Amino acid sequence: MAQPKFELPVPPAKYCILSFPSPNVLLVRLNRANDLNCVNMDGHAELDTIWSWMDAEPNLTCGIITGSGRAFSAGADLKEWNSVNQSGGKRTHPPGGFCALSRRSGRKPVIAAVNGICFGGGCEAIINCDMVVAAKKATFALPEVKIGVAAQAGALPRLIKTVGKPRAMEMALTGRTITASEALEWGLVNKVVGDGENEVVDAAVEYANMIAANSPDAVIVTRESVKMGWEGVGAEDATRIANEVWGPRLAAGENLKEGVASFVEKRKPRWKPSKL
């Protein structure tokens, strides 16, 4: 489909391809297939700019990230890492971590469409995504311990909340690969689909369209409340913060009034771009 009209200029992309499968949905496809979509330092910075743009662009509600070729992402660019080590330099990540996702807070949801190999930093990134769809052939691993490093992009304390201590320890300490069916059983992914070239992206777009059909204001506020629980804020404190900080903003917006009116009038709501 044609690119929607945006209020903010679309950022340039060298290491990934940007597209818009639906009017309010951004699709980011990592585009280093020959390198199994390993992400270098410039790639992390590029993705940080892209997610920041998505959060700020009023006409986008949800993002999707996927890979090209047979990998989602095999993790860090080890050739670059080795060169940095040899030169005595220092690798850097944006505050959001690997793919600017593994430690990202953000305002809007990101869905991972895992099309294949999802190792190391790639796996760390999807652990902090809001939803995950996987192809049957997708595989997941945190193999850092096998090469003398640790998964330090934010996944480990988050992984234990998703799959529990024994399974988190199994992944992190053995470095073994788990299948998509195991990942589904463990609660690491929402859904497993077939291995057709576009099936996993189509499934992610379906979820994204469900999200984008809702009030963009309500999506932001609802995600904030869930995220506070994910980050360890107690239930009552999270509810209080949501009501005190986000409640007035939601109530003052046009979309809340439109949603209530559309229900009473038995019609589809006409949402406005979010101003939250």
Helices (H), 101-253: 121-127, 155-163, 165-169, 180-186, 199-212, 216-230, 235-241, 247-252
Q: Which residues pair with 66 in a beta bridge?
A: 29, 113
**Which among 96, 120, 121, 154 is annotated as catalytic?**
121
**124 catalytically annotated:** yes
Residue written as token pair 């600017």: 100
Q: Classify residue 229 by its DSSP letter.
A: H
| Angle subtended at Cα 27 by Cα 24 and Cα 32, rounded to the nearest 5 degrees | 165
**Which among 74, 76, 112, 242 is annotated as catalytic?**
76
Say how many C-beta atoms besides its own lie within 10 A of residue 57's C-beta: 20
**232 catalytically annotated:** no
| Angle subtended at Cα 91 by Cα 88 and Cα 94, rounded to the nearest 5 degrees | 155
Helices (H), the chain: 41-56, 78-87, 121-127, 155-163, 165-169, 180-186, 199-212, 216-230, 235-241, 247-252, 254-264
**Which among 63, 116, 141, 144 is annotated as catalytic?**
144
| Cα–Cα distance, 159 to 162 (Å, whole number) | 5
**Which among 75, 112, 124, 238 is annotated as catalytic?**
124
| Cα–Cα distance, 246 to 267 (Å, whole number) | 27
Q: Classify residue 244 by its DSSP letter.
A: I
**106 catalytically annotated:** no
Active site residues: 76, 121, 124, 144
